[in-house]
């Protein structure tokens, strides 16, 4: 029979402390949905040890309906981001083993945060994006009296699962709220059409309500050709190149921003049928939900241009923000 040392050697050792190892393994298994074999590869430990620490995490109460224990490094990043950007709340999730899972993981954390911070009588102004869609999907269903949800931008003319209109409606349905939409396309064909759309009485009614929101939940997009705006055909590849040449780093509410959070002077922005970015400064609680290293420049622009109260992101984006 082998010794305990021999068994430990076969199982492998990890670079993480025991409490952090349990939290990371639990996150990868219960939230990200990785197999125990994949977790053993990610954490550098044997499969037997993965099984043991997952069992220990359950027994010690780390895993209940959600993971209660915080990864130490993430807590440190949260504190540094609060101090650096003057934020009230920061939630940093562990970096996913596969980058494509970042929106799902951040969305899961955002759902938990929103469940704790949306209350009766709130008026919630809502943006859009993959991460917000995951957050709304994960949000527990409950009835909050006298709540209102207002979409901050127009919708898609072709049915898509990640439509701004659908996002607002789904959130309202989850919390039993009234829902107000912008009954116009996300982009007009020309700036003069945008002015006409935005002057309609029904649109102005929604904008009026959005200006009285006490919570805004927003996300940001990158300049990637794979971003929803580019993928859904809102703008041409040539326009994306023009925006980048003009200094754009990403978009907020379909309006492209420079590195300091200013709206770029370009026809694409003049065609956007959305709540004006600069007026988000008047919303008391702005919750920014976005992550991934490729979004760091966009997130930084929003932190510079808008008064954000809470940031929900991941390790990769957090580290990039602190290094900027």
What are the structural domains, with CATH classification, of the chain?
Answer: 4-59 (1.10.10.10), 72-323 (3.40.50.1360)
To which H or E segment does residue 137 belong?
helix 130-138
Residue 212: count other Cβ atoms within 10 Å of its Cβ: 12
> 54-59: which pairs have CB atoms within 8 A and are 24 or more residues apart?
54/25, 54/26, 54/29, 56/22, 57/22, 57/23, 57/25, 57/26
Residue 187 pLDDT: 93
Which pLDDT belongs to residue 176?
96
Question: In the chain, which stretches have pLDDT less than 50?
Answer: 1-11, 65, 68
Other residues' Cβ atoms within 10 Å of the Cβ of residue 118: 21
How much is the pLDDT for 114? Answer: 96
Question: What per-residue confidence (pLDDT) applies to 31?
Answer: 81
- Residue 64: predicted pLDDT: 63
pLDDT at 158: 64
**Confidence at residue 251, expressed as pLDDT on a 0 to 100 scale:** 96
For 86-177, strand residue ranges (E) read 89-93, 123-126, 148-155
Residue pointed to by tokens 């006298």: 146
In the prediction, which pLDDT does 229 show?
A: 78
pLDDT score, position 96: 83
Q: Retrieve residue 20's tokens.
A: 């952090």
Q: What is the mean pLDDT of the chain?
A: 88
pLDDT in the model for residue 127:
96
Sheet with strand 285-289: strands edge to edge: 89-93, 310-314, 285-289, 215-218, 123-126, 148-155, 178-185
The confidence score (pLDDT) of residue 16 equals 76
Tell me which residue of 21, 34, 128 sits closest to 69, measured CA to CA.
Answer: 21
pLDDT reported for residue 316: 94
Residue 93 near residue 319, CB atoms below 8 Å: no
Q: How many residues does the chain have?
A: 324
pLDDT digits (tens, 9 = 90+) for 158-168: 656 667 788 99
Please, are residues 287 and 310 in contact by the beta-carbon 8 Å criterion?
yes
Distance (Å, whole) CA 119 – CA 105: 23
pLDDT confidence of residue 109: 94
Residue among 266, 245, 261 nearest 299 (CA): 261
Give residue 65's pLDDT.
47
Q: Residue 159: what pLDDT?
A: 59
């Amino acid at each position: 029979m082998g010794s305990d040392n021999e068994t430990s050697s076969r199982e492998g050792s990890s670079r993480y402390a025991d409490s952090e190892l349990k939290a990371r393994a639990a996150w990868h298994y219960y939230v990200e949905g990785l197999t125990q074999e994949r977790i053993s590869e990610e954490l550098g430990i044997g499969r037997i040890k993965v099984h043991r620490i997952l069992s220990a995490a359950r027994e010690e109460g780390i895993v209940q309906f959600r993971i209660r224990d915080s990864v130490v490094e993430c807590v440190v990043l949260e504190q540094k981001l609060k101090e650096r950007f003057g934020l009230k709340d920061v939630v940093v999730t562990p970096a996913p083993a596969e980058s494509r899972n970042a929106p799902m993981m951040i969305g899961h954390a955002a759902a938990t945060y929103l469940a704790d911070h949306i209350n009766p009588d709130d008026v919630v102004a809502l943006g859009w994006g993959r991460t917000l869609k995951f957050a709304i999907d994960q949000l527990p269903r409950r009835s909050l009296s006298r709540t209102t949800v207002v979409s901050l931008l127009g919708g898609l003319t072709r049915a898509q699962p990640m439509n701004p209109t659908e996002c607002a409606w789904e959130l309202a349905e989850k919390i039993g709220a009234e829902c107000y939409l912008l009954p116009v396309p996300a982009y007009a064909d020309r700036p003069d059409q945008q002015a006409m759309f935005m002057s309609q009485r029904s649109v102005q009614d929604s904008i009026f309500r959005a200006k009285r929101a006490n919570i805004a939940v927003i996300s940001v997009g990158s300049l990637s050709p794979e971003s929803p705006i580019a993928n859904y055909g809102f703008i041409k590849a040539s326009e994306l190149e023009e925006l980048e040449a003009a200094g754009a780093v990403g978009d907020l509410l379909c309006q492209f921003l420079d590195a300091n959070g200013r709206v770029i002077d370009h026809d694409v922005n003049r065609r956007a049928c959305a709540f004006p970015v600069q007026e988000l400064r008047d919303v008391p609680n702005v919750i920014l939900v976005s992550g991934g290293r490729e979004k760091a420049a966009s997130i930084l622009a929003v932190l510079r241009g808008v008064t954000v109260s809470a940031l929900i992101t991941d390790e990769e984006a957090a580290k990039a923000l602190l290094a900027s």
